[in-house]
Amino acid sequence: MRVFFIRRFLFSIITVIGATAIVFTMSRAVADPLLLYAKPGGYGVSPEQTAVLKAKLGLDKPPPIQFVLWLGRVARGDLGETILDEKPVGRILMERVPASFQLGLYAFILATVFGIPLGILSAVKRGSSWDYMGRGVALFGQAIPTFWLAIVFILVFAVSLDWLPAATRGDGWFDFKHALMPTVTLAVGALAGYMRITRSAMLEVLDSEYVKLARAKGVGPQSVIWKHAFRNALIAPLTASSLIFVGFLAGSVLIENIFAWPGLGRAAIQAINNNDFPILQAITLFFVLAYVVMNFVTDVLYAVIDPRIRLG
Amino acid sequence: MAQISSTGEQPAAILVPGTGTGSRNPLAQGWFLLRRYPIIPGIVIGLLIVVGLFAPQLSPADWEKQNLREFQHHPQTFFRADEHNTPVNEAEFDQETREGRNALRAAKGQYHGRFVFILGGDHLGRDVLSRAVGGARTSLKVAGIALAVGTLVGVAMAIVAGYYGGITDEIMMRIVDIWLGLPFLLLAILASVTIGASERTVMILLALLAWVPFVRQVRGDVLVIKTLDYVAAARIAGASDLRIMFRHIFPGTMSTVLVIASLRVGGLILAEAALSFLSVGIPDPIPTWGKSVSEGRSYLETSWWISFWPGFAIFLTVMSLNFFGDWLRDRLDPRLRQIN
């Protein structure tokens, strides 16, 4: 167990270094990063100012050293300043995190509450109308573009029926009227994912020898499903749940943008429109770190729940 | 339909090839065929390919042609054209006077035939259907090329990793793990912003998304195939590593490759649409579905059709591709049921 833990941890660190290297390389992929700050020959940019800016941003050093310096600054929580109004990027990030977290949490709850039972139901009653409905939901959820679903929701519930507000977060955490449409849209994909994972895991378990044995011994159908099959079938969706949660972070880029939800995803798009590269870079970095951490948690969780993984 | 219920659970419908439904009812026969073969998805995909290939010939109007007179044109039915949408009879206009010439020009500008604006016009007076047709071409091209490149790279890596094993395998699989642990959309946005959005950038990014699933699955196949006798025989006969990998192992992975490719296209089309929607994808003037949906957002209250139809096209396409992929998987390689 300890060996497994340490190996996964080291691997996560390698992933973080690799990912930060990718983000850093991208930030230097343009011919001259200064172009993001000041166009050459632009209005009122003198060579002296360019030199000052270069020194300030550490661009006068070779790239590998820049990378190490940048990594050091990031590790200390210094993500630089925004280009637009020179505010610390870290603070903007912190302001945006709660909204994104709220949306992700709500969607997560919604997807779990509906996805897992639907998966179990459609596996247990295979071939029934429940199964068809479940599989229909799964196919639908995987094929529908979330941004289009969001727009259709707005068309129906905000424009035509005028039941729900089309945008913004409203009064915060418990303003469910504002949160409803973004939550549902964000949850649809994850719900489909949960349903598929749970269904296939449950089918596999129901087909296993020990469930057949339990049945042969005369254990009642309810008991077989809940005591024998259900617990084992839950491993797959449980371990997938952390990844799905992080998937929300990325999915929120689209959803938050449409519903004007003041979270990280919207900040990223605003940063693109404002050409504010440091914010975009910081948000990407944040998401990457969240991914890696959640992956690590998933692996550990998996190993804790399922001995075959840590011993195999 | 055969029913077996000795275990107390409801079995899925058992479809044995050639048995049909056993019913002579043509409706039941038709329903059986629809469930057994991906007929509807096949039609949609076939249509998409034809429309994509012959987009310039098939689209009712030029998808770049703007016409501000027809700004946010309502969808018109084919049989009942709008009142001002009538063929222009030049003799009715007095072309001697300036007013007459202007009126003639206006009338000509308003006549667009019966096929244009069936799905309405967008905020610049472009035909929504033509934009969607052009978008089909773009989607097909971008996703197709990205998939081809991704497949090539992924399969090559999988065969090399699986065949050589050891440290090569370890390194390649770790690269795959790292890649899987990254949020693609965000990195794609970042890359698109720094490199600059273009059709080529999108293709490269999608290819980077496409190759990963191939490596894991195909490598598993290779690990099995390389222990088979005929591979050993080829080696004894003096075949080079390259020859063995390409001529002897690669054909054995074909069904897996086909299945994964067919299951991946939908995802690629969705990713392209998402990037274009966020305006970091394919730049103007190339029409794409994602961009059209995004453009219509500002006009939702007055003209829903601008956003609705291109999004519906994405949905229909991806749904059909997924259906088809599922069917192909069950046909060729039921083992792969676990992926996705």
Q: For residue range B99-117, what is the model confidence (pLDDT) as tens digits?
A: 877 877 777 766 666 677 7
Contact list in B for residue A196 (CB cut-off 8 A) is 340
Token duo for residue B16 = 């044995």
Query: 0.90 cut: is pTM over it?
Result: no
Token duo for residue A93 = 């990030």
B116-120, B173-177, B320-324: least confidently modelled range: B116-120
- Say what the pLDDT of residue B155 is: 92
Across the interface, whether the CB atoms of A143 and B182 are under 8 A apart is answered: no
Report CA B166 to chain centroid distance, whole Å: 37
Q: Mean of the pLDDT values across residues B141-160?
A: 91
| Single-letter amino acid, residue B327 | W
CATH classification number, A89-310, choose in 1.10.260.40, 1.10.10.10, 1.10.3720.10, 3.40.50.2300: 1.10.3720.10
Q: Does the structure show a pLDDT above 60 at A30?
A: no
Which of B290, B315, B337 comes nearest A143 by C-beta?
Answer: B315
- Say what the pLDDT of residue B149 is: 93
Q: Shortest CA distance to B125 belongs to which of B207, B64, B180, B178? A: B64
- Say what the pLDDT of residue B7 is: 41
* All residues at 6 or more sequence positions from A273 whose CB lies less than 8 Å from its CB, including other chains: none
| Chain A interface includes B195 (CB < 8 A) | yes
Q: Shortest CA distance to B88 belongs to which of B112, B56, B117? A: B112
Proportion of chain B above pLDDT 70, given as a percent: 82
Which of B8, B11, B300 comes nearest A151 by C-beta?
Answer: B300
Cα(A163)–Cα(A186) distance, rounded to whole angstroms? Answer: 19
Phi, psi (degrees; rounded to nearest 5) at A114: -95, -35
| Single-letter amino acid, residue B223 | L
Using 50, 70 and 90 to split pLDDT, how confident is the model at B281?
confident
Across the interface, whether the CB atoms of A151 and B186 are under 8 A apart is answered: no
B257-270 tens-digit pLDDT? 888 888 888 889 99
Closest chain A C-alpha to B95 CA, distance in angstroms: 46
How many CB atoms sit inside 10 A of residue A226's CB?
12
- Say what the pLDDT of residue B20 is: 54
* Residue A31 CA neighbour count, 13 Å, CB half: 3
- SS3 of chain B: helix, strand, coil, percent, to 5: 65, 0, 30
Which of B13, B273, B296 comes nearest A127 by C-beta?
Answer: B13
Cα(B75)–Cα(B70) distance, rounded to whole angstroms? Answer: 11
| Single-letter amino acid, residue B334 | P
- Say what the pLDDT of residue B147 is: 92
CB-based contact B76:B303 (threshold 8 Å): no
How many CB atoms sit inside 10 A of residue B41's CB?
20
Closest chain B C-alpha to A44 CA, distance in angstroms: 24
Phi, psi (degrees; rounded to nearest 5) at B121: -120, 155
A250-254, B7-11, B161-165, B236-240: least confidently modelled range: B7-11
ipTM topping 0.90? no
| Chain A interface includes B31 (CB < 8 A) | no
| Chain A interface includes B39 (CB < 8 A) | no
Three-state DSSP state, B85: coil
Token duo for residue B87 = 């063929």
Cα(B247)–Cα(B239) distance, rounded to whole angstroms? Answer: 10
Q: Residue B2's beta-bridge partner residues?
A: B14
Please state the domain extents for chain A. Answer: 89-310
Q: Mean of the pLDDT values across residues A301-305?
A: 78
B28-52 tens-digit pLDDT? 888 888 777 888 888 988 988 888 8
DSSP string, B173-223: HHHHHHHHTS-HHHHHHHHHHHH---HHHHHHHHHHHHSHHHHHHHHHHHH
| Chain A interface includes B4 (CB < 8 A) | no
Report CA B182 to chain centroid distance, whole Å: 24
